[in-house]
């Protein structure tokens, strides 16, 4: 069966660490209806992990799953979803997933597997060796206590330099909920490292020598890949460059497309100057320089090159080399990461003397990357850093920590903005040292449970960016009004959805965005200018649904939702339109299973609703609307008292958000009163078994009196 369907590697690998049993099952026979990635993860948890299972219970399972398009030539593939009962979710653990890029996904496919399900708990530290069909559980006692880099190096020495190693650091070993698993130096999935640690699983290493078979016409495939390349922008699908060029009608100083002719990768040996036409498809990798975007133009001189995932031309993990940092702090001179990982160190400081784009800022980023990506500490999308800032400056830490512990922390360095502070703080948290380490390593949940801080203290303070359930906002009203709010209500961790923000931040003029919105979601009213929001309408609700479904689709196809979807493009000749059917076209060609946008979106919706059902089942809560889909108070405030819908505020209106949720539930075919999927919705999506179970649990609308 598997051989008849392209795209899929064919098998799902299952390793029981309690018994040592290794088995496989057919991906297509068992999981075709949920595609891969989070789809497989949710399905495994639904079928096999009972409600009430704790994140660190041996009964919890951790699913590393990629998708049909991973390991192919599709741009922006290379993603692995790591789905499990998520340990930082408060007040009780619920389903969640971390997502990593790098080379792991492709290697897993080339070894013959679409997913790896790890269950049980080993009686000693182990690592899993996957070399094609040879799967072994190996002794990791010699690696336990080592950081991610050392573990990766030691395993790579044995497996070969071409393998991909996904390892945890000391944070995961010590069962810190705030722990990552990382592969390919800097590609991490947050929140799941402790689950691996709880299973005594230090690492998973994969070497695969196979290939991904494409079922469709190869010429058509190549043409589609080339077309996809032509509609790519820079990182986050910013489709206009940050600078005016002869080739561009539009530009945006805030764009992540910062690579312009004349810039140099100054630390490359020899240095590389960007030349030629910025539209050249063979030069897309020059467009993105995350270090320069986040740290300013000075970062060009430290840039070695871009790094990134298999098959991705964007290369958003910029490698920087700063020998002076190595000399000053005794750390490695090279660093690489993007976004929150790149900002890990800088984020701890309320203010740096010379600003966010100073050399001090660069030093803080270098130290943060070096420490966190080795110790395996997660930032919870910057919440860890914001929590520390608030706790320190409002006096909580002084009150909660004993004097001896408090005085042992170099607060003078912290206040003066000295990056050396990180040499103390990051290991302290990752190693769970003292009261501070024990609490902060639990994430914001730790503050609520250990220190009796109320969630309300956080949800009223905009500076925390806290949203709910122990996690922060992720592109909410500050970027996209009601659409952002709806999206942020839906998950059990930060939403990690970029479908919507990649569109509103794409850099095109508002009139062009509105035209594209009308074409895609039915009305120009589906999108507003930032901070000039209009009341909720059904088109915004449709766009929120589209954004969520595409996120799940990308996570289940092995594509990057940090880059897609591709409804906009840099191409004037296409009126700046992209192709909203790209995913289904690739899926059809890869698998040989002909589908279209609507049908594939229905599969994405099925996966999303499965997440919804799993959340509701494990909460045991019929009313998700008021108990889960919550919005923090700060969303309804403005520091200057500006009214909702006045220009220049992101303040939302409570009644309008209630209406937005009404509209969203309607377009989802969910019950308006409770936000619970209806039996009709389950049936429409082919989830009758899930619906029946939810009905039996009295968790479908109308089943409780």
Partner 1 sequence: MNSAGEDWEEAAAEAVREASRQGRAVSAAEVLEALAARGFDVTSPDAGEKAEAALRAHAGLACFAGADGAARYHDPALLSATYAGIMDRKASPTLLMAEEIRANSREYPRPVPVELFEAEPFGLTPEQIGDALRAMAENPAFEDIAFTATSTGAVYLFSSRSLEPGYAKFLAEHAQNLAMNP
Binding residues for partner 1, rule: CB under 8 A, are 243-254, 260, 262, 293-294, 338-340, 343, 347, 355-356, 475, 478-479, 505, 509-511, 529-532, 572, 647-649
CB of 248 to partner 1, least distance (A): 6
Tokens 């910062």 sit at which residue? Answer: 258
d(CA 416, CA 425): 15
Query: Torsions phi, psi of 560, nearest 5?
Result: -100, 115
Question: Considering beta carbons, is residue 260 or 666 the nearer one to partner 1?
Answer: 260
CB of 364 to partner 1, least distance (A): 13
CB of 524 to partner 1, least distance (A): 15
Tokens 């270098």 sit at which residue? Answer: 366
Q: 117: Cβ–Cβ under 8 A, 6 or more apart, which residues?
A: 12, 13, 14, 15, 44, 61, 62, 63
495, 474 contact by CB (below 8 A): yes
CB of 563 to partner 1, least distance (A): 14
CB of 701 to partner 1, least distance (A): 37
CB of 170 to partner 1, least distance (A): 26
CB of 41 to partner 1, least distance (A): 24
Question: Considering beta carbons, is residue 144 or 562 the nearer one to partner 1?
Answer: 562
Question: Considering beta carbons, is residue 530 or 673 the nearer one to partner 1?
Answer: 530
Question: Considering beta carbons, is residue 356 or 424 the nearer one to partner 1?
Answer: 356
d(CA 318, CA 335): 8
67, 35 contact by CB (below 8 A): yes
Q: Which residues share a beta bridge with 136?
A: 129
- In eight-state DSSP terms, residue 187 is E
Residue 336, classed as helix, strand or coil, is: strand
Question: Considering beta carbons, is residue 531 or 535 the nearer one to partner 1?
Answer: 531
Question: Considering beta carbons, is residue 143 or 309 the nearer one to partner 1?
Answer: 309
Calculate ∠ Cα 495-496-502, nearest 5°. Answer: 115
Question: Considering beta carbons, is residue 254 or 522 the nearer one to partner 1?
Answer: 254
Q: What are the b/e assignments for 20-45, b being 16+ CB within 10 Å?
A: eeeeeebbbebbbebbbbbbbbbbbb
Question: Considering beta carbons, is residue 191 or 341 the nearer one to partner 1?
Answer: 341
CB of 681 to partner 1, least distance (A): 33
Cβ atoms < 10 Å from Cβ of 599: 13
CB of 61 to partner 1, least distance (A): 30
CB of 362 to partner 1, least distance (A): 13
DSSP conformation letters of 338-381: -HHHHTTTGGG-S--TT-TTSHHHHHHHHHHHHHHHHHTB--TT
Q: Is 395 exposed, middle or buried (0-12, 13-18, 19+ CB in 10 A)?
A: exposed
Cβ atoms < 10 Å from Cβ of 231: 21
d(CA 198, CA 419): 32
Question: Considering beta carbons, is residue 134 or 247 the nearer one to partner 1?
Answer: 247
d(CA 420, CA 422): 5
Question: Considering beta carbons, is residue 229 or 530 the nearer one to partner 1?
Answer: 530
């Amino acid at each position: 069966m598997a051989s008849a369907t392209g795209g899929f590697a064919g098998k799902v690998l299952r390793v029981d660490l309690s018994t040592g049993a290794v088995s496989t099952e057919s991906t297509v026979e068992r999981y075709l209806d949920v595609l891969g990635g989070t789809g497989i993860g949710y399905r495994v948890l639904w079928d096999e992990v009972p409600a009430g299972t704790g994140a660190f219970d041996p009964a919890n399972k951790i699913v590393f799953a990629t998708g049909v398009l991973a390991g192919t030539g599709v741009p922006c593939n290379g993603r692995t979803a790591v789905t499990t009962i998520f340990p930082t979710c408060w007040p009780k653990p619920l389903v969640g997933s971390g997502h990593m890029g790098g080379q792991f996904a492709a290697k897993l496919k080339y070894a013959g597997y679409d997913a790896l399900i790890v269950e049980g708990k080993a009686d000693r530290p182990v690592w899993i060796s996957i070399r094609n069909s040879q799967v072994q559980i190996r002794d990791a006692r010699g690696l336990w206590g080592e950081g991610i880099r050392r573990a990766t190096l030691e395993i790579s020495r044995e497996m070969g330099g071409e393998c991909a190693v996904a390892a945890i650091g000391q944070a995961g070993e010590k069962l810190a909920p705030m722990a990552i698993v990382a592969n390919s130096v800097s590609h991490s999935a947050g929140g799941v490292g402790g689950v691996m640690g709880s299973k005594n699983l230090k690492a998973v290493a994969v070497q695969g020598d196979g290939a991904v078979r494409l079922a469709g016409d190869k010429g058509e495939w190549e043409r589609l890949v080339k077309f996809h390349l032509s509609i790519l922008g820079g990182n986050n699908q910013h489709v206009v460059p940050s600078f005016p060029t002869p080739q561009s009608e539009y530009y945006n100083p805030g764009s992540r497309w910062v690579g312009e002719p004349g810039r140099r990768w100054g630390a490359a040996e020899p240095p590389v100057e960007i030349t030629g036409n910025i539209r050249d498809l063979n030069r897309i990798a020059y467009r993105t320089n995350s270090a320069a975007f986040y740290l300013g133009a000075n970062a060009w001189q430290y840039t070695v090159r871009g790094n990134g995932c298999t098959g991705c031309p964007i290369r958003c993990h910029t490698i920087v080399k700063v020998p002076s940092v190595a000399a000053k702090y005794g750390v490695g001179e090279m660093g690489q990461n993007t976004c929150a990982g790149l900002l890990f160190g800088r984020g701890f400081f309320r203010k740096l003397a010379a600003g966010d784009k100073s050399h001090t800022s660069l030093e803080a980023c270098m130290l943060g990357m070096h420490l966190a990506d080795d110790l395996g500490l997660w930032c919870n999308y910057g919440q860890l850093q914001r929590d520390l800032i608030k706790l320190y400056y409002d006096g909580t830490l002084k009150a909660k920590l004993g004097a001896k512990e408090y005085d042992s922390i170099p607060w003078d360095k912290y206040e003066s903005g000295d990056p050396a502070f990180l040499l103390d703080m990051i290991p302290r948290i990752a190693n769970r040292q003292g009261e501070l380490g024990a609490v902060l390593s639990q994430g914001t949940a730790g503050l609520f449970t250990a220190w009796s801080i109320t969630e309300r203290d956080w949800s009223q303070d905009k500076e925390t960016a806290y949203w709910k359930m122990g996690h922060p906002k992720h592109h909410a009203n500050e970027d996209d009004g009601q659409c952002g709010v709806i999206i942020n209500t839906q998950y059990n961790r930060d939403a990690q959805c970029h479908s919507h923000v990649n569109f509103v931040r794409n850099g095109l003029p508002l009139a062009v965005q509105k035209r594209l919105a009308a074409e895609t979601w039915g009305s120009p009213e589906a999108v507003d200018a930032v901070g000039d929001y209009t009341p909720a309408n059904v088109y915004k609700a449709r766009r929120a649904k589209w954004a969520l479904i595409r996120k799940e689709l990308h996570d289940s196809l092995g594509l990057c939702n940090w880059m897609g979807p591709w409804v906009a493009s840099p191409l004037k000749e296409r009126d700046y339109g992209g192709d909203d059917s790209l995913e289904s076209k690739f899926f059809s060609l890869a698998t040989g299973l002909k589908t279209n946008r609507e049908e594939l979106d229905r599969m994405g919706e099925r996966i999303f609703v499965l997440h919804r059902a799993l959340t509701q089942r494990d909460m045991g809560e019929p009313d998700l609307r008021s108990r889960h889909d919550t919005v923090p108070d700060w969303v309804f405030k403005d520091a200057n008292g500006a009214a909702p819908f006045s220009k220049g505020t992101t303040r939302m209106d409570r009644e309008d958000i209630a209406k937005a949720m009404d509209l969203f539930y309607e377009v989802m075919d969910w019950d308006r009163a409770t936000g619970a999927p209806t039996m009709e919705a389950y049936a429409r999506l082919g989830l009758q078994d899930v619906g029946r179970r939810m009905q039996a649990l009295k968790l479908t609308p109308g089943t409780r009196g």
